[in-house]
């Protein structure tokens, strides 16, 4: 399980979800019908597997949120942005404290060049997690696309302080990361 999905699982579990929701429904054996969180597996087969898992009766909310997030990532990889948005919005409904879901929605709006809507969702992500480097980075990019160079620079600097490992931030602000 990727670090992000592990964090999602812990977040959902800390929200008081039942013990049976503690087992991840995700796996890498896609030919056995598993929904893979590995980005190299984001294809039509993964989409079918995730959808089949979501159609199973009685899927606990925590597991449903995990699978929806992976299916949203898969829709994104397949450039099906509206479907990704729908899945991420359902993740937010199931797990409103999962900041990455808001940032994922914002990213999809950026892909659709709707930067104003993206900003709204980056703000939501930052309400949940003010230290999210990725949400700050995305907000900076959206501000840049809207012509707010000063606001963009402020957010990119904040992203850099929040998570110095985000290489994309350095590229955006014209710097190389220090070893």
Rounded mean pLDDT, 143-153: 93
Q: What's the pLDDT score for residue 51?
A: 93
Q: What's the pLDDT score for residue 177?
A: 43
pLDDT of 173 higher than 60: no
CATH 1.25.40.10 in the chain: give the residue spans.
106-179
pLDDT of 161 higher than 60: yes
Residues 6+ apart with CB under 8 A from 22: 9, 13, 62
Report the C-alpha gap between 104 and 17 in whole angstroms.
23
Q: What's the pLDDT score for residue 24?
A: 54
Rounded mean pLDDT, 55-66: 91
Give percent of the chain with pLDDT exceeding 70.
73
pLDDT tens track for 104-137? 999 999 999 999 999 999 999 999 999 999 999 9
Topology of the domain comprising 106-179: 1.25.40
Bridge partner residues of 35 (DSSP): 26
Q: What's the pLDDT score for residue 162?
A: 85
Assign 101 a pLDDT band (cuts: 50, 70, 90): very high
């Amino acid at each position: 399980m990727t670090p992000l999905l592990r964090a999602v699982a812990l977040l959902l579990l800390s929200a008081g979800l039942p013990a049976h929701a503690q087992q991840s429904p995700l796996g890498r054996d896609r030919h056995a019908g598993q929904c893979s969180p590995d980005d190299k597996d984001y294809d039509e087969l993964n989409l079918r597997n995730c959808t089949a898992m979501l159609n199973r009766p009685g899927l606990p909310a925590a597991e449903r949120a995990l699978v929806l997030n992976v299916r949203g990532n898969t829709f994104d990889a397949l450039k099906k942005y509206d479907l990704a948005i729908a899945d991420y919005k359902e993740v937010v409904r199931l797990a409103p404290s999962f900041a990455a879901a808001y940032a994922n929605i914002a990213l999809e709006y950026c892909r659709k060049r709707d930067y104003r809507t993206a900003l709204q969702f980056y703000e939501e992500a930052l309400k949940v997690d003010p230290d999210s480097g990725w949400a700050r980075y995305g907000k900076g990019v959206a501000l840049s696309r809207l012509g707010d160079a000063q606001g963009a620079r402020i957010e990119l600097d904040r992203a850099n302080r929040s998570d110095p490992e985000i290489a994309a931030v350095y590229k955006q602000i014209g710097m190389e990361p220090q070893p």
